[in-house]
Amino acid sequence: MDIVSLAIAWLVTSVSFFILSKLPIGVDIDTFGKAMISAAVFGLLNALVRPLFVILGFPLVLVTFGLFMIVINAAIFGLAAWLVEGFRLRWGIWSALLGAVALGFINSLLYSILPTNIR
């Protein structure tokens, strides 16, 4: 992944986080700047911590036919909220679950809008 693709992914995820903060799912982010920081922290956690969670949770992922991955995504989402000041989850794990699922949908929607040559 080159630097331009990384910057686009960061911007798309930042916009997704900001949109999430406007939905009534219990995710609060103060400003777009905090959304950008949250997206960066979320991306770093996905790159560094997610593989460990997947390895440790592999038996549960296998037994649940992959549905446990939603819980892993929610855990990373909640960890990002815990690390970033100005990013709060009103309803705890429920907000993290809703936020992680909604983040996936919003990211998919935004990437489908982007032209294919800049993804």
Tens digit of pLDDT at every position of the chain (119 positions):
789 999 999 999 999 999 999 999 999 999 999 999 999 999 999 999 999 999 999 999 999 999 999 999 999 999 999 999 999 999 999 999 999 999 999 999 999 999 877 76
Picking from 13, 79, 15, the residue whose alpha carbon sits closest to that of residue 45 is 79
pLDDT of 76 reads 97
pLDDT of 119 reads 63
Sign, CA dihedral 15-83-78-68, equals: positive
